[in-house]
Amino acid sequence: MKEKAVALAYDQIGATKIVVSGQGEVARNLIEAAQELGIPIQTDTQLVEALIKIDIGQEIPPELYKAVAEILEFIYRLDSEWSVYYDSTEPLFR
């Protein structure tokens, strides 16, 4: 099974959006870049399977709000500095 990764952003105006996603080498590069930047990473295989189907730049669908909110809450509690990135509308990876 290929490794998969998704990066999310929230600007407090709409729903959380997909900013980057990928499989295989792209996923490994995304995870490595997040680790180098000190961005918290949460593993949830079922959620990433659902999120990876969403186009980059699109908002997550309402049926995923609760699952994503739980992860974002976990990240906020894990690293208070994360909010600097989370509140940004700029993608973390280009």
Average pLDDT per consecutive 10 residues, the chain (94 residues; last block may be shorter): 88 86 95 89 91 96 91 73 53 40
For residue 42, the model assigns a pLDDT of: 84
Would you state the pLDDT for residue 14? 80
Q: What is the per-residue pLDDT for 7? A: 93
In CATH, the number for domain 4-86 is 3.40.1690.10
What is the residue extent of each domain of the chain? 4-86
pTM: predicted TM-score of the whole model, two decimal places? 0.74
Query: Tokens at residue 40, please?
Result: 């918290």
Q: What is the pLDDT of residue 20?
A: 94
